[in-house]
Amino acid sequence: MGNYYSNSAPKFKKGEATFLPIPEYSYSGTAKSELKNKSVTKEELAELYESMLVIREFEDMILKLKNGAYEVLSDFEYRGPTHLSIGQEATAAGVCSQLAITDQITSTHRGHGDSIAKGFHAIRRMTDAELKARCPEFENLSGAELQEAVMEDHIYRTIAELFGKEAGYGKGRGGGMHIADFRVGHLGANAIVGGGIPIATGAAMTTRIDVDEAKRGKVVCAFAGDGAYANGVVLESFNWAAQKQFTNPEFSSINFGLPIIYCLINNHFGMTGRADGEVNGVSPLARRAAGFADNNMHAEVVNGMDPLAVRDAISRAKELCKNGQGPVMLEFNTYRYFGHSLSDPRTEYRTKEEEALWKEVDPVDCFRKSLLDAKAFTEKQLVAIEEKVAERNRRAARRAADAADPDPADVIKYMYTDTTSEVVPAPYNQCMTRGPRPTIKRDAEGRMTYKAAIQEGMIEEMERDARVVCYGEDVADYGNAFKLTKGMLEYFGRARVFNSPISEAAIIGTGVGMAMTGYRPVVELMYMDFALMASDQISNQAAKWHYMTGASTKVPMVIRCSVGGGKGYGGQHSQSLESIFAHIPGTLVAYPSNPYDAKGLIKTAIRDDNPVVFVEGQLLYNVKGVVPQEDYTVPFGVANVIREGSDATIVAWGPAVNDAIKAADALAEEGISVELIDPRTIVPFDWETVFASVRKTGRCMVVSQCVDVGSFTGEIVSKIVENCFDDLDAPVLKLGAKNGIAPQAHSLEKAFLPSVEEMVETVHKLM
């Protein structure tokens, strides 16, 4: 098929691979020439200048606050990060000046300027009705007065978030390093270097395939510094965005490249290390793009100190994206005047002479001179803009400093959302299929396998909601490593079921981006062990954005991962790691033990608006059970009392449940009555059902296939002791895998995992 398959014999012919050149500094315009060519208006020039001034004033405020020199806040003690971007104003203003309100960005820990610029230029494009919808408190204002009031509100809420106030964009939960404003397409600054790049890539995925065609015109700009462009997940994202399956007409029904512009802000320092000449082996950094796409991702190097050069490059990049030719990489050569933070004096790794040379091309000063040279504005007019910006910032800062702090009683408010997608909005509620529906087999008794039950649940949810997509390694033509998704590609098409590169971090990160922008991805990690490759994107991204934005966004995604313990696959393919993610607030964790629960829980997981780690036991894939054909769900946080008993309680989940049933049968023959509880979800956990059982039986054992040390079984034991101490007739015991590494040898693995015999022996100890 096209470039993907070849029936001809391989030809090993002598030759050489060639690479396209990467343009550098192709823009040569000025304010004067742009005005003459009518490619810019005086109003647009004034907007650019004011945008840069707002950023510079904001950053200067932080600098002065730390030095006690910001007079209007002389009584305020600022606590928080001080990652200044002074010197980089032209990149933020130039990029965002070319973005529509609905276009999206992600940013970095040094992202105040990006956030300010995105809001600033979006507000300048809003109608009176849009401005009033954003700030209903200004209902009685109109025109320029209304716009100025909303602009000051933008600065106020930015400063309030920096100060950790309830009025901030994230209600003080995220702070300046995680600031976001989803109303204008700002998907969040990221304190993990490079962490926002796969999220932006996922947002571009949503734009590319969105069933609502009105939403397909968006472009995503991903800001990241030079340090990020050696980061694994960033390079994975480039590879992801450049996949030929997106644009090969023989391979995809949507022949459209990802509409994303990677904005490499090369300020020449990661933290203290230099990118060029020290920790990188290429120059310019834009050469990275040649490793991922034959067209170099249209890479070029741009003067990042000139807002007009930035504006020109983004304008052309947007056109490429809108024509389906993305992704695009732009390297903006700029400079940050200060260290990584204000605790860094910079003296160890750069000179004053170097800084002085860069300040000679200061973006604010040089653009100001250019405006005067072009006779676009008088000195008096520019001074008026400068004074307006400074006074606006002073008012907003004072108001932010005086604003209310978050209530300590709300310290974990917004950790989870309690919403679901029970009602699917149009046009996503239409069943959009491409071919024959996969055949799901049941026997004469209505039984099906655990594996088939998960597939049926996924198919039903994808039929119900067109926002649900499924992707991961080998899930398409091959049908996943265990044939669980077989036939789904043919039924739903490659826009909704597709293979991914072997890039676990990018699989999860793009899922986060899709989820934050309206879709509901079900992403697959072939083995749960591989979740460790993606743990940042699960734990720092998926889990935290709802909280860090003060509930401004949701991350409705399902992370399917199978556990291979008991199959002789050894230490890197056998780990039951659900306890790790139970320890990460913000994620839900489900682990069904039987086909009925497997179908009901996967459907609940897909409909839930929280990120769900959905664990599947490979030993359970071929276990059969009765599964109704009609639509049903199994609620999270409601345990299943598999059998009632009076002498001891066993709490178990996943494959351990079937062994616990055998243990309970063996104990029954001895006259010991066991009550067996399967919690079904670890987070949320049904504490009351367990407590009620323990209060009745007075004894309890908790068992799972997790390594015993650090297992969630210990948390259950602790809670039982705390809440049921007076009802206990024996210590609460736990049983798990041995505190070691899963072995491959069958004899060793059998000894490694908790056995039926060990469960029986442990209950004997309780008696």
pLDDT in tens, 407-450: 999 999 999 999 999 999 999 999 888 899 999 999 999 999 99
Closest CA to 318 of 106, 514, 119, 103: 103
In 492-643 the beta strands, taken as DSSP E runs, fall at 497-499, 520-525, 558-563, 588-590, 612-617, 624-626, 640-643
Mean pLDDT value across residues 511-531: 97
Q: Are 254 and 206 in contact (CB under 8 A)?
A: no
Q: Specify the pLDDT at position 2.
A: 38
Condensed to tens digits (0 to 9), the pLDDT of residues 689-711 reads: 999 999 999 999 999 999 999 99
Residue 7 has pLDDT above 70, yes or no: no
Q: How would you class 181 by CB atoms within 10 Å of its CB: exposed for 0-12, middle for 13-18, buried for 19 or more?
A: buried
Compute CA 353 distance to the chain's CA centroid, rounded to the nearest angstrom.
41
Condensed to tens digits (0 to 9), the pLDDT of residues 58-83 reads: 999 999 998 889 999 999 999 888 89
Q: What whole-number distance in Å separates Cα of residue 671 and Cα of residue 321? A: 71
Q: Give the residue with greater pLDDT, 6 vs 396.
A: 396
Q: Give exposure, 112-130, as e/b (b: 16+ Cβ within 10 Å).
A: bbbbbbbbbbbbbebeeee
Q: What whole-number distance in Å separates Cα of residue 145 and Cα of residue 103? A: 25
Closest CA to 577 of 634, 515, 528, 534: 528
Condensed to tens digits (0 to 9), the pLDDT of residues 620-636 reads: 999 999 999 999 999 99
Residue 4 has pLDDT above 50, yes or no: no
Q: What is the mean pLDDT of the chain?
A: 95
Q: How many helices (H) and strands (E) does the chain have?
A: 24, 20
Q: Specify the pLDDT at position 274.
A: 85
Q: What whole-number distance in Å separates Cα of residue 281 and Cα of residue 647? A: 68
**Preceding omega of 284 cis (within 30 degrees of 0):** yes
Q: Specify the pLDDT at position 1.
A: 34
Residue 288 has pLDDT above 60, yes or no: yes
Condensed to tens digits (0 to 9), the pLDDT of residues 256-275 reads: 999 999 999 999 988 888 88
Q: Specify the pLDDT at position 275.
A: 81
Can you name the residues that pair with 274 across neighbouring β-strands? 269
Condensed to tens digits (0 to 9), the pLDDT of residues 104-118 reads: 999 999 999 999 999
Among the residue ranges 180-184, 267-271, 314-318, the one predicted with the least confidence is 267-271
Q: What whole-number distance in Å separates Cα of residue 690 and Cα of residue 696? A: 10
Mean pLDDT value across residues 189-215: 94
Output the six-digit token pair for 385. 């803009």
Mean pLDDT value across residues 20-31: 96
Q: Specify the pLDDT at position 718.
A: 98
| DSSP classification of residue 420 | B
Q: Specify the pLDDT at position 375.
A: 96
pTM for the full model?
0.96
DSSP state letters, 641-687:
EEE--SSEEEEE-TTHHHHHHHHHHHHHHTT--EEEEE-SEEES--H
**763 — pLDDT class (breaks 50, 70, 90):** very high
Name residues whose C-beta falls within 8 Å of residue 250's C-beta, 6 or more positions apart in sequence. 1, 2, 4
Output the six-digit token pair for 539. 């734990």
Q: What whole-number distance in Å separates Cα of residue 266 and Cα of residue 285? A: 8
Output the six-digit token pair for 199. 């999220």
Q: Specify the pLDDT at position 254.
A: 81
Question: Hey, what domains does the chain have and what are their CATH numbers?
Answer: 31-401 (3.40.50.970), 447-626 (3.40.50.970), 640-766 (3.40.50.920)
Closest CA to 657 of 672, 637, 679, 638: 679
In 50-148 the beta strands, taken as DSSP E runs, fall at 104-108
Sign of the alpha-carbon dihedral angle for 313, 204, 121, 340: negative
Q: Specify the pLDDT at position 81.
A: 81
Q: Specify the pLDDT at position 6.
A: 58
Residues catalogued as catalytic: 573
Name residues whose C-beta falls within 8 Å of residue 218's C-beta, 6 or more positions apart in sequence. 100, 102, 103, 104, 185, 207, 259
Q: Specify the pLDDT at position 431.
A: 85
